[in-house]
Each structure stands twice: as C-alpha cells, then as structure tokens.
Structure 1
Amino acid sequence: MNKIVKGIGVTAIAAVMAGVSFAAHEWYADKPFLFRAYLDRPLIKIAMDQPEMLTSLGVLESVGITGHNAYLDNDSPEQGDKLFAQMASLRDGLSQYDNDSLSESELLSKQVAQYLLDLMSQAEPYRYHTYPVNQLFGIQNGYPTFMQAQHRLQTQEDVEHYLARLDAVQLKFAQTLEGLKLREQKGIIPPRFMIDRVLTEMTEFVAQPIETNILYTNLEQKAAEIEGVSSQQSQAWLADAKSRIQDSVHPAYQSLIDYFTQLAPKAGNDVGYWHLPDGDKAYELALKLFTTTDYSAEQLHQLGLSEVERLQAQMLSIITQQGYSVDAGFETAMAELAADPKHYYPDNDEGRAQILADYQRILDEIDAGLDPVFNVRPQASMEVQRIPEFKEKTSPGAYYQQPSLDGTRPGRFFANLYDIKATPRYSMRTLAYHEGIPGHHFQIAIAMELEGLPFMRRMAPFTAYIEGWALYAEQVAWEAGFQDQPLDNLGRLQAELFRAVRLVVDTGLHAKRWSREQAIDYMAANTGMAKSDVVAEVERYIVMPGQATAYKVGMLKILELRQKAQQALGDKFELTAFHDAVLKNGALPLDILEQVIDDYIAKVQAS
C-alpha cells in the first residue's frame, strides 16, 4: 500500500474516497464514533490494496494522486485469505453498534452489511469452486480490456504508468496460476470445452503482430491525443510498449497456455456443478447468493417452465398478427421471423457503425422522455461502444460498465457486433433499455452518486436486485410508450423469455445433470435466438452457476412490490415515488427491499 500511495496520508486518501472528513481516531479506533466510518474504513483499506479498483473508481486522480495507476491487483491466494479475514473482522464488530443508537439509514446499512458479510462467511469454504480463467472472463481478456477501457491516458505520467502495468502483468498472471493449481489439487477442473476456448483465445492473442495488439493500438491512438507530445516521444513510447509486450505480456500469456495445455487431458465433458467435490452444496449457496432468496433449484426450474409457457403464448399472438405462420410451433415461427432479411443491418463495417449510432439514438430518445415515470436521474452520462473485437466471439450480447466516481469516465453500454444476425432491429430497444436507460446505467450510476451512504450501500453487489431492476426497466419503457411497434414489443417479450429460459437451463445444468448440448438444444428451441448467442449464453451459465437465475427472480419481486404498493395506496400511489423508494437505497437483498417498500407505503398512508 505504501508504494501505491507514495507517502500520502491514509486518512487523507480515506477522506477523498469517502467524501467525508476522516480523523485519525476514525481511521485507527476499534470502534469509530461514526457507524459509516466503521463500514467505510475496511472497504477503503481493501481498495487501497487494489490499484485496479482505484483506477476504476477514479476518485484519487482529481486531487493529484496517481501512483496506484502503475500497479495491478494482487491476485494471490494469500490476498484472498486476507480479504476473508478482513470481512470476518468487520462482521464480528457490527455488534458494537446497538440498533437503538442508529438512525433509520444507518440501521438499514447495518442490515445490508450483516446480510452480505454472512453470505461471505458461508461462501468461504467454497471459494475455490470457481473457474477464474474461462472463455467469458478472466485475466486473459480482463487485463487488456481494463487497460483499454479504464486506464486513462491523458498525460505523460499516465503513459509511464501504462508502461509499468505492461511489466506488472507477469506477477499478476503468476498469482492467478497459483490459484488455478490450488483448484486442480482440490479437483476443481474446468470442462474440456472451456479449456479449449481459452487456449484458442490466448494463442491467437500472442500470435498476432504486436502492432495490432489492443495493448499497443490503444496506446498508439491515445498517446497521439495528449497535448504537447511530439511524434518522436510517441514513437519512443510505442517502441517501449512493443518491447514490454514482447518481454513481459507474451511470456505471461504463455505461462497460462502451457498450464492449460497440460491440464486439458485431465478435463472431461461434464459441465454442471454437480460433478465437482461438494458441488451440490456450492450450487445451493450460489442460488442463495445470486437470488438473495431460499428458493431451491427445483422451485426455480418450475418457475422458469411456467414463465416460458406464458411468454411464448404472448409472442405467438404478435407473430400471427404480423403475418408469420405459427402452425408448426414456436421454434419454427421464430426461425421464419429470424430468417427475414429486413430485420438486419448490412453485414459490414458501415452496418455495424449504424447499429452503434442507432443504439445511441434510442438511448437519447428515452433519456429525454422519462420525466413522467422518474424523479431521480443519474448525473453521469453514458455512451455506446463495441465490445473489443479480440474477445467478442465468446462474449455475451452486451454488458454495462459503470462510470467513475469522479464523473470523468461515463457509463458504457458495450454491444457485441460479431454476428450481425444476433442484432435484429426489433431487439435493439429492449437491450438498450436494459443495459443503459432506464436499466443498469440508471440504477448503478444513481447508487454510486447517493450522498451520505457508506461504500457498501453504493456499490452493493446484489445481482437479483441489479439485474431484476434492468429487466423490470425493459417493461417500464414499454409501459411508457417507447416500444409502440408490435415487433419492438416482441423483442421485449423475447428478452424476458430469454431470462425465463435461463431459470430452466441454469438449474438443468447444475442440478438436473443436463449436458451442454441438451441445454443448447432447449434454449435454441425456446428462445428464437441466434445459435451463436445461444452457445455463448449456455457456456456462460456453466462458468457462472446461479447468476442467470437472478434476473427473473428480481424482476418478479419488483413487480410484486409495485402491485402491493398500488393496492395499498390506491389514488395515493405515484410511480415516480415508488421508483424513488426502489432506487434511492442502492442495491438490496430482496427481503430487505420489501421492508423498504413497506416503510414507503406506511409513510404515504400516514401523510
């Protein structure tokens, strides 16, 4: 930590990050006077040990603190031990603060902290039941993505830090490799397809000419835009970068290539968590972690089947009205719709550029028209970008990246343009609403901007709430009139159906022992999605057990709570006020969200 902050007082850094004054007592005391300081302090300490997180948050640069940008996170197993110990200590100390001594907001913070820390305690025995290097995410694609999207290159010092991070990658890869070997010893070996995918990805990454590598081209593009830098200086930086990519980055990748090459013969074709040691227990915990409920795999599976039936019936009605035949069933009807070329952009650079422009137009349009349904709005702006081409083949259809805390980096909606058939025009609105406005960008940026709340509340990782809100936001956009064309509404229903199918497939894979091929066949038959998307999605559920179940569970809970508020309040119900109650508390476990809505109902009734 001392290297990273370069001698700047830790209480000063804490004050910058928390936005409050941190006296020495609040930093070092066993029991700080302020409950918020008690919650913020360990998370700030963790952040100060994670320079990549500091870069992503972007709060220290505004006061001239930049040294952390020359380092990468410590990914060693020992660092993981330290993190669990810190969280256990934080959990044990919550009892120092009596509920009666806390304000309403502080009490909610205590409940959220208790919930999250209890989950972490339960998860510790299964911390190695993960695949940290896989075809979807991991250091092999996360590192270059981080360098391209989050490491800023605005000054000469930023460039020096960038170059330092090219060297630092060898240690980070070595630490990741140490964790992979520990998993192998415990019998946590990825399925064979996953190993083949990452080997292809990494081999292609190091085989390309350095001058076309994203780590080189990113510096080439951005260094040329730095004010006052000569072409000679830019060329010197590029020569230095090329040397470091060759001498540090490529050997780091080769170390993982060598490891997975020798691991491949030990891997099999069973893909569900059930085949791992204690995999059934790990999956049960994963469902609890991602849904913040006690739903069993069987309950979620049956919920998914019933939702699939309901949504397909609505979609078939629209398809019939649009003149497509449904006589041969849902899969054939969706295939006929998907085969119609009028629904697609040209399969060239111009077509892909137009997709990005149209996404931005859709977002600008809805952003300008949401006043009737939202009071609270994020201050952070957002933009649309293409998923970097080097990783889009195995990436999901889209994802969102949060803005920096200081507002210098906007929220970003990344769209996958690898397969043009995966972006039919009628699906674009609902995807933009989910990833951008009023979905992830609204919820995540608003949470980050909440004043007076501890970091844990502003950055809480409760997937059922976060993804449930984004799916709910798709419906809100439709209700507000932004999907007035029947096929746009079909796209919305197909997106919701996609999440219902996820309930079936995720539990099928990990609890009912479905094969990868069985899951692909079911999803292709019941969604009408492009085959490339189906394969990428099923393989995502294999590497992230339980995560896919969060979306529908969260959406259905928010809709249930909205109906509850409407019935209780009658004429006093205002949708804008309901959305305030949901959004102004950060992400929450679903039972705590219900408690918040119950309090909102009671206050309106008493007014």
Structure 2
Amino acid sequence: MKLLLLSALLMASMMACNSKTGQENTAANADFAKTVDDYYEERLKLFPIEATYQGDNRYNDLLPNSISQEFLARTKAFYTDYLDKIKAFDREKLSDQDKISYDILKRELELQLDQFKFHLEYVPFSQFEGLTLSFGQLGSGVGAQPFKTVKDYDDWLKRVSAFQVWGDTAVANFRKGMATGLIWPKSLVVKMIPQMTDLVVTDPTQSLFYGPIKNLPKDFSEADKNRLTAAYKKAILEQIVPTYKKLGDFLQQEYLPKARTTSGIDVVPQGPDLYKELVKTWTTTDKTPEEIYQTGLKEVARIRGEMEKVKMQVGFSGSLNDFFTHLKTDPKFYPYKQPKDVLAAFNTILVRIEPNLAKMFTQTPKSKFEIRQTEKFREASASAEYNPASADGSRPGIFYVPIPDAAKFNVTSGMESLFLHEAIPGHHYQVSLQQENTDLPKFRRFAWYGAYGEGWALYCESLGKELGIYTDPYQYMGALSDEIHRAIRLVVDVAIHTKQMTREEAIKYMMDNEPIAEQGAVAEIERYMAIPAQALSYKIGALKIRELRAKYEKQLGDQFNLAAFHDEFLKDGCMPLDVLEHKMDAWADRQKK
C-alpha cells in the first residue's frame, strides 16, 4: 500500500513537473514566435523594396539611402539587437519548427554582422545588380511596383525624390573604394556605363520611367491624370535623368581610369577573407574554396564523359570541341524568327511535362505563372530568370527570357533544362510553395538561400527524363551543357578569386568545356567577377539534394516515395544545407516507423 501510495505521489509529482515544463515550453515558443515576427516586420521597414517585391505595399513610398553610413549603422544595431534576443532563448525548449527558425536566424544574423567589416558599400552596384537596375524595373510600370491607384502613382514619386540622394552617395562611396583599393575591374565598369547613359533622355515620353503614364487607369479623374502626367515628366527630367547622367559621367570620366586590370577579389583589401566569407554565405557550408575547386574538376570530367556518349549517339565523328562548334554554328539549330516563336517553344515544354508532374509532386502552387520576354533596357546583359509571384497572388510568377535577336536563339542551348530550372518545377514551385505556406514565420516565407533555392532548381534539371523530356539527344546535350556550366563555375569562380586566373583564361576554360558562344561566356565570367561565390551555390546545393535522395532511397527501399521526398523538401522553405539535412533525416526516420 505504501509502495502504491509512493508511486502515485511520484507520478503526480512527475505530471505536475511535466505540466510546468510544458507550460514553460509553450510560453517560450510563443515568445519566440513574437520575436521572429517582430524581426521580420522591422526588417521590412529597413528594406522596403523587399516588401514591394513580396507584394506588401505598406512601404511603397520609401527608398532609404541603404549605402549611407547612417543607414549601415542602424542596420548593424538592428542585427546585433536581434541576435542578442535570439540567443536569450533556450533552443531545447522550442518546438521542432522553432528550432529550425532559431538555427536559420541565428546563422543569418551572425553572417550579416560579419560582412560589415568588408565595406561592400564601396562598390554599391555593378552591371548585374544594384538599385540602378532594380529602380528601372520598378519604375517601368510592368514590375513589382504597383501602378493601379492614385496613391500608387504618388508613392513612386516619393521614391524618385529619394533616388537622387542615393545616387550622390553611390558616387561618394565609389570614391572611398578608389581611395582604399576596393574597386571594380575595368571590364565590368565599361558594361556599367551604357546602363546609365541609355536611360538619359531629353524627351520624357521616351523614358522607360514614362511607362506608368502611358498606362494610366481609365478611371482616374482628368485632374489626376493631368497632375500625374506633369509630375512624372518633371521627375524624369529633373530627378531621374540627372541621377543616371551623373552616375554615367562619373563612371566614364573618373572611375574607369582608376579601375583595376585584375579579375579576382583576392587583390583587394581583405580580399582572401572576404571570399571565404562569401563562400560560406552562398554555399551555406563550411567547405573550403579548394574543396569546391576539386569537386568542380571531377564534375567537369564526369559530365564530359556523358557528352561523349551523346556525340556518339547522334553519329558526330569529330572531337567533343568540334561537336560544340557544330552545335553553335549549324543553321538548323537556329529555327526561330520572332521572339514569340521562342516563347511558344517554352510554353510547349510546359504542356509536355504537365502529365508527369503529378507523379512527382503532391503539393503544387496556387500562384499563377507566365513566360515573358526580358525588357529591352536590360536584356543585353540579362540571363533568363524567374521573378517570384506576390504572396497575395495579385502578381504572377514570371519566367523572363532575354531575346535580343530571335534568329540567334539556339534551340540546343538547353531550353528544356532551362525551363525546369527557372520555371516549373524549379523556382516557381519552390518559391511559390514557400510563400503560400502561412504556417511558416514570415521571415522564412520570404527567405532566400542560393544553395537551397538554386540547388533545388539545378536538381530539377536532372528530372527531365523522369518528366518525359530530354527524348531529343540534342536537348539532352543542352541539359548536360547546363549541368557542366554549373560544374565549370566551381572551377573558374574559385580560380578567379584565389588562383589569379584571369578573365580571359576563365572565358577560354568555359568555352573549351561547353558549347557556349563567346558573348555568353564573357557575360558569365564577368558575373562571377561581380558577384563572387554566388555561382557556387547551384552545384553545391544540387549535389547535396541528390546525395540526400540517394541516401533515403537506400535506407527506405520500397518505403521511399519520391513525391513525398519532394514535398518534404519544399514544405518548410529555404534553409541552410546543414539545417535541411537534419530536417530531412528526421523525415526519413518517420517514414521507417
């Protein structure tokens, strides 16, 4: 009896203890959820253009001077404050989902704080990224900035008024970079100059930024139409054009003569440390540049072997490099006459893969999807890309295809693999499902990690045969070309920034190992020079996903379900690769039970 009573007392004590612990954990989870939500909301105020791209229109009138010392100090304080708040939580008392959020946010805040010491504001834009380009997209009237109401139109005018201040700061920052040695290579600067000067006009109605006025909503009053038309003409001639002219003149007259002739960032102050930091940031791994370089060499050799098989299959008798030349020069591979022909061919790919998508995905996006030609003002330097849908569904996901000359668009360029990567099931599935998952904290719904997102998109290219395409050996060769292109990146990105490989040597290596035109190789290599380590994320991420799939196929045998694997991979959104593997291992364990 005494034993029974003692046992009952112990059980009651344990239950009370568990109840107390459960209450503490519930409180910790609630406090944590509020902290990460507060982080997201405060961050949107700091970076209102991100809010606009996400379809959140509360801050569409704001354009902070994001490269000023005052703004950078405020941002550093913001990251420091939230890192302290996150560290105050006991990770072990959080739910599984909150542990993922904890790991993601802690890592992100630490990396952001690490990068302030490198003064990347001294190179505020390049020909590939920066406000000078996104400002044109936003103000064109066909981008993420909405132009539906009178307030929308007035919001944009407020952003325009802030653009001049940003432009003045950009010039001042470039000068700081010139003084300290953090400066762009000449080959990049010469591409930046026409991007500025092409937007300088004397007739405001011929400006890219006049687009919203050409499409004024019919229900606006005549008074509003007249007021806005006059205001936009004035803003174009007195604020936008002078800013782009000032930037173009500065780059041409002052910056270009001082630009460096070297290619890699290893020669700039703190360059080697900066590259290691960027490798860590973009790959979300602790792999060294040398490890990545060696992986690249092995992958290039492996994929070349696959290309040799295709060459034999189609009966081509020359060398692999001769085959590359054949693919680039034979007129039969250039069948298109108009941009609409190219866009129609991409739409046909979607029709062909749709029957097989259901076998590989249970969850698919609600967001709409469109294929569009890249805008003229940026297509000369642009690559094919995906612009995400807005979270509320008001703006579709857009697959942009640059077509400067349809007659020069090569059908063997990997159109099928490109579609799988940029569109469906690549970026459109991944980004849309993430944004549509309202159970995720907002900072995760709109997060981006290249190793996860680009890794997923490259992995999707490997699904072509399972999706019923790559039946044409030339299209499969295009897919292999796309794959080797990402492997080549591991070699040349690391070699440019750690092994003194020159721009010209990198271009030659690329052209020796894939059927790419010189113009394309130049654009790619210059991109790696402008955005060091970003290009590593694709292949590193895809290799990890393929590794995980193979591991679970072996572990689970008949219990492995590919659609379930894909659904689990996508459902919780972007995250670093180590956090991803931990999550997927837990999923595999659940499948065994």
Find the aligned partners of 1:171 and 1:206 in 2 and give their Cα distance. 18
Cα 1:70/1:118, change in 2 over 3 Å? closer
- Kept in 2: contact 1:166–1:241 (CA 8 A): no
Residue 403 of structure 1 aligns with an amino acid whose one-letter code is A
Matched, 1:151 2:141: no
Residue 182 of structure 1 aligns with an amino acid whose one-letter code is K
Shift of 1:460: 2.5
Find the aligned partners of 2:75 and 2:355 in 1 and give their Cα distance. 43
Matched, 1:56 2:46: no
Cα 1:159/1:241, change in 2 over 3 Å? same
Matched, 1:101 2:98: no
Per the alignment, residue 387 of structure 2 pairs with: 401
Per the alignment, residue 471 of structure 2 pairs with: 484
Matched, 1:445 2:435: no
- Kept in 2: contact 1:291–1:549 (CA 8 A): yes
Q: Please, which of 178, 194, 204 is the counterpart of residue 200 of structure 1? A: 194
Instruction: String of CA shifts for 1:231-268, please: whole Å, max 9, x gaps.
Output: 78646533432221111111111222233221222112
Matched, 1:249 2:243: no
Cα 1:288/1:322, change in 2 over 3 Å? same
Residue 463 of structure 1 aligns with an amino acid whose one-letter code is G
Matched, 1:163 2:157: yes
- Kept in 1: contact 2:266–2:498 (CA 8 A): yes
Residue 194 of structure 1 aligns with an amino acid whose one-letter code is L
- Kept in 2: contact 1:129–1:188 (CA 8 A): no
Per the alignment, residue 15 of structure 2 pairs with: none
Task: Classify the secondary structure of the residue corresponding to 2:60.
Answer: helix
Larger radius of gyration: 2
Find the aligned partners of 1:276 and 1:156 in 2 and give their Cα distance. 47
Pick which of 401-410 and 80-89 moved more. Answer: 80-89
Cα 1:49/1:295, change in 2 over 3 Å? closer
- Kept in 2: contact 1:373–1:576 (CA 8 A): yes
Q: Please, which of 565, 588, 593 is the counterpart of residue 601 of structure 1? A: 588
Find the aligned partners of 1:463 and 1:369 in 2 and give their Cα distance. 27
Q: Please, which of 476, 487, 490 is the counterpart of residue 500 of structure 1? A: 487
Listed as ranges, the gaps of 5+ residues in structure 2 are 1-27
Find the aligned partners of 1:488 and 1:229 in 2 and give their Cα distance. 49
Task: Classify the secondary structure of the residue corresponding to 1:383.
Answer: strand
Per the alignment, residue 530 of structure 2 pairs with: 543
Task: Classify the secondary structure of the residue corresponding to 2:156.
Answer: helix
1:176-195 correspondence to structure 2 within 5 Å: 176-195=170-189
Task: Classify the secondary structure of the residue corresponding to 1:414.
Answer: strand
Shift of 1:422: 6.2
- Kept in 2: contact 1:77–1:179 (CA 8 A): no
Residue 35 of structure 2 aligns with an amino acid whose one-letter code is Y
Find the aligned partners of 2:116 and 2:523 in 1 and give their Cα distance. 29
Residue 248 of structure 1 aligns with an amino acid whose one-letter code is Q
Residue 152 of structure 2 aligns with an amino acid whose one-letter code is D
Residue 237 of structure 1 aligns with an amino acid whose one-letter code is L
- Kept in 1: contact 2:496–2:529 (CA 8 A): yes
Find the aligned partners of 1:284 and 1:422 in 2 and give their Cα distance. 38
- Kept in 1: contact 2:279–2:289 (CA 8 A): yes
Instruction: String of CA shifts for 1:344-399, please: whole Å, max 9, x gaps.
Output: 2435xxx2122123223323543454110001111111111222111111222x11
Residue 348 of structure 2 aligns with an amino acid whose one-letter code is R
Per the alignment, residue 333 of structure 1 pairs with: 323
Per the alignment, residue 25 of structure 2 pairs with: none
Give the count of matched residue pairs. 562
Per the alignment, residue 410 of structure 1 pairs with: 396
- Kept in 2: contact 1:219–1:238 (CA 8 A): no
Shift of 1:180: 2.7
Task: Classify the secondary structure of the residue corresponding to 2:399.
Answer: strand
Matched, 1:342 2:332: yes
Find the aligned partners of 1:120 and 1:70 in 2 and give their Cα distance. 26
Per the alignment, residue 462 of structure 2 pairs with: 475
Per the alignment, residue 339 of structure 2 pairs with: 352
Listed as ranges, the gaps of 5+ residues in structure 1 are 1-30
Matched, 1:87 2:47: no
- Kept in 1: contact 2:29–2:98 (CA 8 A): no
Residue 189 of structure 1 aligns with an amino acid whose one-letter code is I
Instruction: String of CA shifts for 1:463-501, please: whole Å, max 9, x gaps.
Output: 111111000011123322232222221111111011011
- Kept in 2: contact 1:50–1:74 (CA 8 A): no
- Kept in 2: contact 1:345–1:352 (CA 8 A): no
Per the alignment, residue 293 of structure 2 pairs with: 301
- Kept in 1: contact 2:369–2:398 (CA 8 A): yes
1:68-79 correspondence to structure 2 within 5 Å: 68-75=59-66, 76-79=68-71
Find the aligned partners of 2:491 and 2:550 in 1 and give their Cα distance. 26
Find the aligned partners of 2:37 and 2:257 in 1 and give their Cα distance. 46
Task: Classify the secondary structure of the residue corresponding to 1:45.
Answer: helix
Per the alignment, residue 258 of structure 1 pairs with: 249
Cα 1:234/1:367, change in 2 over 3 Å? farther
Q: Please, which of 42, 49, 56 is the counterpart of residue 45 of structure 1? A: 42
Task: Classify the secondary structure of the residue corresponding to 1:437.
Answer: coil
Shift of 1:74: 2.8
Task: Classify the secondary structure of the residue corresponding to 1:376.
Answer: coil
Instruction: String of CA shifts for 1:45-90, please: whole Å, max 9, x gaps.
Output: 1212333222222235xxxx5xx32332332232122112211221
Matched, 1:585 2:572: yes
Shift of 1:456: 2.6
Find the aligned partners of 1:129 and 1:54 in 2 and give their Cα distance. 21
Residue 409 of structure 2 aligns with an amino acid whose one-letter code is T
Matched, 1:385 2:385: no
Q: CA RMSD in A?
A: 2.2
Find the aligned partners of 2:471 and 2:336 in 1 and give their Cα distance. 25
Cα 1:582/1:130, change in 2 over 3 Å? farther
Find the aligned partners of 2:434 and 2:144 in 1 and give their Cα distance. 20
Task: Classify the secondary structure of the residue corresponding to 2:336.
Answer: coil
Matched, 1:312 2:304: yes
Q: Please, which of 552, 560, 565 is the counterpart of residue 552 of structure 2? A: 565
Per the alignment, residue 5 of structure 2 pairs with: none
Find the aligned partners of 1:317 and 1:33 in 2 and give their Cα distance. 57
Shift of 1:227: 3.4
Find the aligned partners of 2:357 and 2:434 in 1 and give their Cα distance. 18
- Kept in 2: contact 1:77–1:175 (CA 8 A): no
- Kept in 2: contact 1:324–1:336 (CA 8 A): no
Task: Classify the secondary structure of the residue corresponding to 2:263.
Answer: coil
Q: Please, which of 257, 269, 280 is the counterpart of residue 277 of structure 1? A: 269
Pick which of 364-373 and 290-299 moved more. Answer: 364-373
- Kept in 1: contact 2:374–2:400 (CA 8 A): yes
Per the alignment, residue 18 of structure 1 pairs with: none
Q: Please, which of 104, 125, 128 is the counterpart of residue 136 of structure 1? A: 128
Instruction: String of CA shifts for 1:393-445, please: whole Å, max 9, x gaps.
Output: 1222x111111121101111111112547632232111111001000111111
Residue 222 of structure 1 aligns with an amino acid whose one-letter code is N
- Kept in 2: contact 1:271–1:516 (CA 8 A): yes
Residue 401 of structure 1 aligns with an amino acid whose one-letter code is N
Find the aligned partners of 2:327 and 2:92 in 1 and give their Cα distance. 60
Task: Classify the secondary structure of the residue corresponding to 2:182.
Answer: coil
Find the aligned partners of 2:224 and 2:41 in 1 and give their Cα distance. 37
Per the alignment, residue 3 of structure 2 pairs with: none
Find the aligned partners of 2:312 and 2:497 in 1 and give their Cα distance. 36
TM-score (norm 1): 0.88
Shift of 1:299: 1.6
Pick which of 91-100 and 279-288 moved more. Answer: 91-100
- Kept in 2: contact 1:383–1:411 (CA 8 A): yes
- Kept in 1: contact 2:64–2:162 (CA 8 A): no
Find the aligned partners of 1:440 and 1:78 in 2 and give their Cα distance. 35
Shift of 1:592: 1.4
Residue 331 of structure 2 aligns with an amino acid whose one-letter code is P
Task: Classify the secondary structure of the residue corresponding to 2:372.
Answer: strand
